[in-house]
Amino acid sequence: MSDNLGKKNSRLALTLLLVAVAMFGFGYALVPIYDVLCEWKWIERDRPDDIKKVPETAYKVDKNREINVEFMTTLNESTPMEFRAEKKQLKVHPGEYHTVNFYAENKTGKVMLARAIASFSPAVTSSYFEKTQCFCFSEQTFKAKEAKIMPMRFVINPELPEQYKTITLSYTFFDNTERSEKN
């Protein structure tokens, strides 16, 4: 009986070892699997560089659809500014151009260089959100205590899949003054 118990224990140990190796292999393979799955999802349309300026194109406005565009603004923790969107949200028809103003103010007594970086939610919508004018295209220089109204002109490409009803555009301002001084 102890010989039979030894065989069962050996088989159990081998099974547990194989399960552990398989789990490790699966964990190791998750990144390439995730990349492949994401690539399939993005195959419909390439994501353009976020700060790329596009020419104003005459689209046919889709009056049958309405997209809710939400504007969020944040500051990097070390950016001494005030930053906000003129409007928190806007309802737009795909193909229709709109301009939204953003307000930014340097709260320091010295010149500051700052850069706004955009992010979209859901991320796939960034391919359809086309900016013709934006303060995010380049680094902004603010004099001491200077406030600016900065426009962003955009259109949502009518090819945006019907499933997307809300787009959130979030800008984060970063203080680049020290980095620019070092260059």
Joined tokens for residue 133: 């004018």
AA letter at 63: K
**Given this model, what pLDDT does residue 37 score?**
59
Joined tokens for residue 137: 């295209």
Return d(Cα 93, Cα 90) in angstroms, integer.
Answer: 10
The residues near 175 (Cβ < 8 Å, ≥ 6 apart) are 76, 78, 79, 80, 81, 112, 113, 114
Q: Once rounded to an integer, what is the mean pLDDT over residues 5-9?
A: 83
Return d(Cα 128, Cα 161) in angstroms, integer.
Answer: 9
Return d(Cα 75, Cα 115) in angstroms, integer.
Answer: 10
Q: Once rounded to an integer, what is the mean pLDDT over residues 102-120?
A: 92
Mean pLDDT of the chain: 84
Query: Comparing C-alpha atoms, which of 108, 177, 170, 104 is closest to residue 144?
Result: 108
Residues 150 and 135 sit within 8 Å (Cβ to Cβ)? yes
Return d(Cα 91, Cα 167) in angstroms, integer.
Answer: 10
What are the pLDDT digits (tens) for 112-171?
A: 999 998 989 898 898 899 998 999 888 999 999 999 999 999 999 999 999 999 999 999
Residue 45 above 50 pLDDT?
Answer: no
For the ranges 27-41, 44-58, 130-144, the lowest mean pLDDT is seen at 44-58
Q: Specify the pairing of strand 67-75 against strand 166-175.
A: parallel
Instruction: Label residue 48 by pLDDT band (50, 70, 90).
Output: very low
Name the more confident of 54 and 34.
54
Residue 16 above 60 pLDDT?
Answer: yes
> Which residues on adjacent β-strands are paired with residue 153?
99, 133
Phi, psi of 161 (to 5 degrees): -55, 145
Q: Once rounded to an integer, what is the mean pLDDT over residues 51-56?
A: 67
Query: Comparing C-alpha atoms, which of 62, 47, 36 is closest to residue 120?
Result: 47
